[in-house]
Structure 1
């Protein structure tokens, strides 16, 4: 028998190989099932690097990518490849062969298998597998486990089994030499967390998870800390109290009101619609109305494709990713703005069907300008019947705009002088007076803040010596000229509003 780590290698036992064979077969059978899953096939392209061409990746390729990822992570802790336990290498080879439909324990006897895994050719094959690019993920997912991420994204029943499989394989690799170091333990924990709580990305959509250790009290505290929006905060608080009482009645066996949680958010941009939708998702979770409470934010681009048959797949992917949480569709009225032959109407039909299929499992919030949203809801009887809760968001008052600006200042570790604040207030008052319905509110404050800190940087870049006070202070000189700034904001946002029409 060949030596391993300076000692005569112990043969791999029949029990170990049988266990590995069982894990491999389950993994392969799962991949075969996923290979026939249309939802899975539709979700894969959003995870693929555009530079990889039109390769059709199978679940087997993606699983191998994740397994090699795990193996390589542990290998970093043992830079010398010959120091990696043969039992760990066997896991890599066994899964590789199984994903091609070959079970090594059926092909070879125990004795021959042991001879094979201690041969030089075996080491060469390990190197080849480790260097093979089985799957080319998008940049955001380079360090993630792709298969569980896709399965969670489509809310597949196979998510947890696959996440558990990767965790078990990682444990086997870590313990292959019958000992586990502190670094091994730390890496195992990291892999388990990544596999069981994978990062989610959705084409043309944003996925927002509920924070760890979140509670209803924390959410309501964040709600009350929002600047302005008194009516909205009162509406959310009233809804929360109503839902609390409904749960109490349900627990006592009393009748409850069949209340729809789907909502219409009507208001101009930058008034906190997405923020409130995110808070609602967390509230619904803590009250027991949603399983996860996450928010999936999208718009027309995230739901509508340009070719026949593609919109259904695209819309379905986004909608299913919101199962257990909130689907937030911004500028929802744009789904009906393309005329009779537009694919937006197909997306609406898919949305209505999924709202029925997953009734009680997700909440849909549609948002946009008030007039357009009223027309949108009235355009389809299905929309009218499902949306009966309306929230009206308004432009922020001048004082609220200043509070929002100061919040950006504080978070970025700057300080505003009194003269700078006075000049800024005059800009805000004039902008507020001349505002139109497309005024960006908080978004405009962010853009203005970024412009001001650029001006500050230009002012101090050549000043010597540089002090902390100099770096932090925004002076009257950093605030742009009043009339010119007002004109730029009003004209720019007015043109943007016209383009949206």
Structure 2
């Protein structure tokens, strides 16, 4: 077939159609298995738009959505719709029919199959398929391939099969005219990257992979660059050295101490608990204790559902996504704060069971205020036996808060004048002196910095010319009034 005029010089042969039928059959079989998987059906809602979460989606709906995305990607490499190879269009139509439970090979012979693309209705059907909302993905997943993302998240055995199927369908569309252009090669690479390394979204929880080309030396250097946290740095360094030696003993066939990598982070908000948990995952990965070292960050809302039986499913989904890495549970004590019949207890029991099932490939870090965390750990013998590493995070001192603010400024291409630093330090000293346990620390500094750059913008907006020096310099005038700011910060933190 000629790309220029779509003349039928390359008909759909019996051999080619047989390849397409096999791909359709594999996809259909995979969808049947997935629809019977409770973990899969439960995970679907986490990828759907909020207003469509009540819709009952099946695997074939989501796969069709992803196949349409593949077709759209290749269609954009052509100047107009008519230039798209007929075989590419036919692949879309055939798979659409197959995943709707209709097999064209049982309805039409090969002669009729080759006539279909030239009917007046064919292109209209293509557009209808493209316009159909098979699955409404949440905003952050709209540009992603949904089925591979769901399967990766739940660690499904169908993950490789579905990813391979989508990649093969993409290759069939690219080679529909027996040639692959540079643009099509680039599209194939982009599809492969997204399908094989899908973005992970877990409801309100956060999923963070470790940086590319990461090393143990890089992590430890970043740890030392953190402002303050001297006792935490020493604790992590001691733990790292201990784990290194345990690995060496293991390699030499010597007995090793029992390594419990789970940890309790106790301290107020904004003191670096999540940052350090992220680093621990990377360290464990580089030392060979975790497979991936990624971080899944969640809280009570991410684990507990509102009705019987669903909390275990929801918690299990989060844990599955965290396998091979670190599950960080902020304000973990809230799991025991709902009373006797609260579903938080169900979440804890699920956590304890999975910690035992995956003790060699899952690390859980629970975090929160010191007093509440002590009560939380003591509330359940299972928690006491599994958590024996405690890290105590304290409030940042005023000079450390100033250093954090200066670092934020540097990263944003700003610079504080000496007068600005002096005024800002006075604010921070007064806030630190009157701090309460809910004081936001680094979070408070970030909020204050946003006000500072807003004031700077108002100061310089009418100046001419606006030079680079003017844009980057933060003066004493840009720092808000001291007493008023201190009062606002303390009230804000109390409300939080």
TM interval, shorter chain, is over 0.9
* Whole-angstrom distance in 2 between the partners of 1:193 and 1:259: 36
Equivalent residue number for residue 132 of structure 2:
132
- Indicate the residue corresponding to 1:455 in structure 2: 455
Q: Measure the CA separation in 2 of the matches of 1:81 and 1:232.
A: 60
Counterpart of 1:226 in structure 2 is 226
1:316 maps onto 2:293 in alignment = no
Q: How does 1:4-403 map to 2 (within 5 A)?
A: 5=5, 7-52=7-52, 54-403=54-403
Give, in whole Å, the separation in 2 of the partners of 1:437 and 1:489: 13
What secondary structure, in the 3-state scheme, does the structure 2 residue paired with 1:391 have? Answer: strand
Moved segments of 4+, more than 6 Å? 1-4
Distance in 2 between residues matched to 1:2 and 1:416, nearest whole Å: 64
- Using the TM superposition, name which of 234-243 and 373-382 deviates more: 234-243
2: CA distance, partners of 1:219 / 1:96: 48
User: Structure 1: 5+ residue runs without aligned partners?
Assistant: 497-501
Map of 2:466 onto structure 1:
466
How far, CA to CA, are the matches of 1:323 and 1:53 in structure 2? 26
Shift in alpha-carbon separation, 1:13–1:254, aligned structure 2, 3 A? farther
Q: Secondary structure at the match of 2:269?
A: coil
Q: Is the Cα–Cα contact under 8 Å of residues 2 and 177 in structure 2 kept in the other structure? A: no
- Change in 2 beyond 3 A, CA 1:6/1:202: closer
2:221 alignment partner, SS class: helix
CA distance in 2, matches of 1:12, 1:495: 68
- Contact between 2:6 and 2:83, CA under 8 Å: does it hold in 1? no
Identify the range of structure 1 (348-357 vs 331-340) with the bigger mean alpha-carbon deviation: 348-357
185-194 or 314-323: which moved more? 314-323
Give the unaligned 5+ runs of structure 2.
none
**Normalised by the size of structure 2, how large is the TM-score?**
0.96
Alpha-carbon distance between aligned partners in 1 of 2:413 and 2:191, rounded to the nearest angstrom: 35
Match of 1:499 in 2: none
Give the drift of 1:327: 0.6
Match of 2:490 in 1: 490
The Cα shift of 1:444 comes to 1.0
Coordinate RMSD, CA, aligned: 1.8
How many angstroms apart in 2 are the aligned matches of 1:59 and 1:135? 10
Q: Is the 8 A contact 2:210 2:293 kept in 1?
A: yes
* 1:410-429 mapped onto 2 (5 Å cutoff): 410-429=410-429
- Specify the alignment match of 1:437 in structure 2: 437
User: Structure 1 stretch 25-34 or stretch 52-61: which is displaced more?
Assistant: 52-61
Whole-angstrom distance in 1 between the partners of 2:381 and 2:436: 31
Q: Return the alpha-carbon distance in structure 2 between the equivalents of residues 130 and 16 of structure 1.
A: 24
Structure 2 CA distance for aligned equivalents of residues 53 and 287 of structure 1: 41
How far 1:460 sits from its partner (Å)? 1.9
Of residues 272-281 and 75-84 in structure 1, the stretch that sits farther from structure 2 once superposed is 75-84
